[in-house]
A and B are shown apart, each in its own frame.
Chain A
Amino acid sequence: MIFLADFSVIKPDFGLLFWTSIIFCLFWFLMSRFALGPITESLKKRQSDIQDALDEAKKAKEEMASLNARNEELIKEAQVERAMIMKEAKNAKETIISEAKVKAKDDANRIVASARMEIEGQKKAALLEVKNKVGQMALDIAEKVIRKDLKANPEQVGLVTKLVEEIKMN
């Protein structure tokens, strides 16, 4: 089979020029109006949506980080406060203890003093009683002695009463 070796592709024929122009124009119009236009719009929108979402995520992350930082700060503050409170409590305890000690000492002192006074009173009363008893006993003895010889001597009775009086005064 022999073919006509006519390199026809290099010769632009009018029919093909005409139809290519028509088809390309139609293709261009239909594609940009119904396909590429909406696609590029959607792509742009999606791109901005994704960017927005990323930005938002970044913002949320930053917020989270700042929140965390604040939390940490709060924890630190709380720790400091706790330490302070503990210290205060310790101080209070110590003062209370020392005060209690002082008070207890005072109380003890007072009790000791009052006990001493009581003892003193008791001692005095006991001494008085002993004196009275001794006086009585002396009188009794004296009376017995004197009754025997001085019974009739009023001068002697007066002297003894005077002596007893003197002992009482001491």
Chain B
Amino acid sequence: MLPLHRFSKRAFLLLKIKHRMRKIILSFLYIAVLTLTGFAQDGHDHSGHNHSGHDHGHQTQNTQDHSGHDHGAQGHGDHGNQHGPICGEAQDHEFDAGANAIHHIADANVYSIGPFMIPLPCILYSKEEGLKTFLSSKFHFAGYGHGDGHQAVDRYVLDGGTVRRITDPSFPKGNVPISGFIHKEINKQHTSYVCYNNKLYPTDAKSTADAGLFGGGITSFYDFSITKNVTSMMIVCSLLFFLFRSVAKAMERRVGMAPAGLQNFLEPFVTFIRDEVAIPFLGPKYEKYLPFLLCVFLFILGLNLFGQIPFFGGANVTGNLAVTAVLAIFAFLITNISGNADYWKHLFLAPGTPWFVKIILIPVELMGVLIKPLTLMLRLFANITAGHMVILIFVSFIFIFGKNGQSIPGAGLGAVGATLLTLFMMAIELIVAFVQAFVFTILTASYIGASTEEHHHAEAEH
């Protein structure tokens, strides 16, 4: 009984540490949100007393919104003519740090190394068109820029590195050169319009699985492309696999010898997760779950660190809800599949409590089953996204103080400040990369541990 007691004591200590870390991280998140909202307001103020750009969109929006795609190209054309040249003029905008940050943390259909854009394969599906596969270079985006495609491919366009679809059936199929994009805010919902023949065509974003909760939902097409995030995942996973495979080979080759080189660097990751996470929470049956815990840890850590490499894509993979959701789903499935009779009994019967407590306790317990993976998902997502956004906003200081290129001394001052702040933030981010990978892993281990724990023995002997 002694070892189990020790496990729980250790677990308690780890949870205490974890709580403290969470406090620190939460405070950073809080700062990040404050900064973000501050800049968002700043951006709005600017557009308030600036009559070009955004406001232009607001003025045309009322009528345009109603015309929709039912009225077709004619309606757009009329408005376009009434308001003068729509396309091309809208590019001159006030710098918006928030929008800039949001753009840079998003997934994309191009891979950017520094300012250079590398095309990626697009796999797109829509009911009308069926499955389309082609390289995103077909959108004719500039190799040095922000990934705006100059050509529509079967009504698909590349806007800021992301594929969107023109919903208007009057838009011609095939490869069509377009003159640009206009972004407008309609009912607090940002929408992108394609300029073609001096007319505006609304576009759809790809379908998302949030059921409209975060403003997404099922749209006219699905994007199964090998995006920037998918590419990053492939790079990181294959890198990790080859590194660990070489260590495994070295261990087989150097039996009975002291570890050397890469072994010394990578073995501690394995022993750390084994001795500090798996064994304290899972006890003697840890071996069954160790590969999963290690894979989760390495996957998250690898991608966290990969996303921090400046100019090398800066992929925000673990800061994307889809990725963290998949990891949380795996954790959820493993926890519940390996759950023993005790776990289910405690969940549905709450033994040892009077009936009126059961009425409250059982729904709470059942909700907890879903809330646990949900918190896993949101914690990792929020931490990494917040970190990336704060760094991007610090970098934006150069443009904010430089008044978008009009004030050179301001830009210089902004650059100094931004460098110092970004340096600090990146150091914090490095810690966060490790802490979040560790927290995700240790919580997964504790959930699995709780669902496989043998309650009866523990209580009987106490």
Contact = CB atoms under 8 A, between A and B. Distances in A.
Question: Is chain B found bound to chain A in the same assembly?
Answer: yes
A39 to B, nearest CB: 5
B237 A16 contact: no
A66 interface: no
B53 A2 contact: yes
B418 interface: no
B407 to A, nearest CB: 18
A23 B233 contact: yes
A121 interface: no
Nearest to A14: B222
Interface in A1-50: 1-21, 23-24, 26-28, 30-32, 34-40, 42-43, 49
A43 B230 contact: no
Interface stretch (B10-18, B75-83, B323-331, B366-374): B323-331
Interface in A28-84: 28, 30-32, 34-40, 42-43, 49
Contacts of A16: 107, 227, 229-230, 320, 322-323
Interface stretch (B19-27, B93-101, B348-356, B429-437): B93-101
A35 B270 CA distance: 11
Nearest to B98: A5
A4 B192 contact: yes
Contacts of B159: 4
B169 interface: no
Contact of A1 (B91, B206, B209, B241): B91
Given A31-B240, A38-B251, A6 B190 contact: yes
Contact of A27 (B103, B240, B274): B240
Contacts of B299: 24, 27
Interface residues of A, number: 39
Given A2-B53, A9-B381, A38 B248 contact: yes
B4 interface: no
A11 B320 CA distance: 8
Given A3-B103, A9-B319, A34 B209 contact: no
Interface residues of B, number: 77
B279 to A, nearest CB: 12
Interface string B88-125: 00110100101110110111000000000000000100
Contacts of A7: 102, 214-215
A53 B210 CA distance: 57
Contacts of B103: 3-5
Nearest to A31: B295
A35 B227 CA distance: 27
Given A7-B102, A9-B321, A28-B292, A14 B248 contact: no
Contact of B270 (A14, A43, A49): A43
Interface of B: 53-54, 90-91, 93, 96, 98-100, 102-103, 105-107, 123, 146, 159-160, 162, 181, 183, 190, 192, 205-210, 214-216, 222-227, 229-230, 233-234, 237, 240-241, 244-245, 247-248, 251-252, 255-256, 267, 270-271, 274, 287, 290-292, 294-295, 298-299, 316, 319-323, 325-327, 330, 381, 385
8 contacts: A2-B54, A8-B162, A9-B106, A12-B325, A17-B209, A20-B233, A28-B295, A35-B245
Contacts of A2: 53-54, 90-91, 93, 96, 99, 183
Contacts of B216: 11, 13
Given A9-B320, A38-B248, A40-B290, A24 B240 contact: no
B245 A34 contact: yes
B223 A13 contact: yes
A1 B267 contact: no
Contacts of A24: 295, 299, 326-327, 330
Given A6-B205, A9-B316, A23-B230, A17 B322 contact: yes
A31 B326 CA distance: 18
A10 to B, nearest CB: 5
Q: Which 3 A-B pairs have the closest CB atoms?
A: A32-B291, A3-B103, A12-B322
A10 B214 contact: yes
A11 B230 contact: no
Nearest to B404: A1
